Amino acid sequence: MRCFVGLVAALALAGCGGSDSKPLLASGKAAAVRGGLTPDVHLFGEPVVAHVDVIVDREQIDPDAVRVTTDFKPYESVGETTVEQEEIGQFTYLRYTTTLRCLREDCIPRTLTGDVTISQTPELPLFPENQQRDEKRKYEFPAALVTAEGEPKDRALGRVVWPPLRSVSRINWYDSSVVGQGFPFISTVTPVPEPSYRISPTVLGIALLALAVALLAFPVTYLIRRYRARRAPDGAQKPSLSPLERALALVEWASRRPSVDERREALEALAYELDADEDATASRARAQGWSPPSPATEEMTGLVEEIREGHAPSA
């Protein structure tokens, strides 16, 4: 648990122990404010965490109305400021945490002026101009202001006076392998300008997505057509047969069956259809059906072919 939270909890418990214990907030106060930097001495480029702790009496201050105003230039925030909230009796504890980092030239220790050589070896060259720098730099940020939004104007709850922050160079000027040989790095710390684009990344992303969908449409369409082509013969409706064609097909089927009754019934059905058409072959079909001992297969198929030839449309 954070040290400050532990202290707050201890004070809250102490406030419940008896009339002689100290209250969490002084009489008449609606809020308490404090903050700090961790660490207050860091190497160039390392992150620094700034936190502001606020305790408010909910009977006087709405925790959602609390606002913290800070200015850490030339340091920049890394990510968003996080807000942690904890209820302790009638009080609310708020912690605002911001991670800071500076990679700008303003955060590099200042350049030393004058002809200075660190090396004690006369034959080694001096440091080139504007490349030898101090070993640390000190920053004093403006105090953070904690307020509570309200009407007709905001209410000031307190200030956080930041301790001095020191940035230390990563170059050890007393290291004989570094000093006296010229500054070991040739680079610039000028901030990289904002990128420019011939085509907006958003527009390009949408165009590429649309192109991907279009390219995907070709194989999908091909597969759908192939699937429909395979299903078409099964799903296609066969032309309906006339009653006579059905009777002829029944005779063909029965001619391959061993059952005498099936053969006779098929020939009788054919004779019935031929009677309806007033066809002279009806009597032949009926005679084959009832001829003993059984209708012959060859006679049945021959009769079917003869009837089909006689009913075939003329060219």
Give the per-residue pLDDT at 11: 44
pLDDT at 146 over 90: yes
Say if CB 167 and CB 133 are below 8 A apart.
no
For the ranges 18-32, 137-151, 153-167, 241-255, which has the lowest average pLDDT?
18-32
Return the residue matching tokens 């201050």. 61
| Pairwise CA distance, residues 172 & 168, whole Å | 10
- The amino acid sitting at 33 is V
Question: Is pLDDT at 81 greater than 90 in this prediction?
Answer: yes
| Range in 84-88, 134-138, 243-247 the model is least confident about | 134-138
Q: How far is the C-alpha of 266 from the C-alpha of 268, rounded, in Å?
A: 5
| Three-state secondary structure readout of 131-179 | CCECCEEEECCCCEEEEECCCCCCEEEEEECCCCEEEECCCCCCCCCCC
pLDDT score of 118 more than 50: no
Average pLDDT of the residues of the chain = 78
> Per the structure block, which two tokens stand in for 12?
């809250």
Nearest to 103 by CA among 44, 28, 35, 162: 44
pLDDT for position 18: 43
Tell me the C-alpha distance between 52 and 161, whole Å. Answer: 10
pLDDT of residue 273: 81
Q: Which pLDDT does position 9 carry in this prediction?
A: 47
Distance separating alpha carbons of residues 113 and 135, to the nearest angstrom: 14
Instruction: State how far the Cα of 173 lies from the Cα of 187, in Å rounded to an integer.
Output: 18
**Mean per-residue pLDDT, 271-279:** 75
pLDDT range class, residue 98, cuts 50, 70, 90: very high
Q: Is 101 helix (H, G, I), strand (E, B) or coil?
A: strand
Are the C-beta atoms of residues 34 and 65 closer than 8 Å to each other?
A: no
- Residue 126, amino acid: L
Mean pLDDT calculated for residue range 166-173: 76
Say whether pLDDT at 149 is over 80. yes
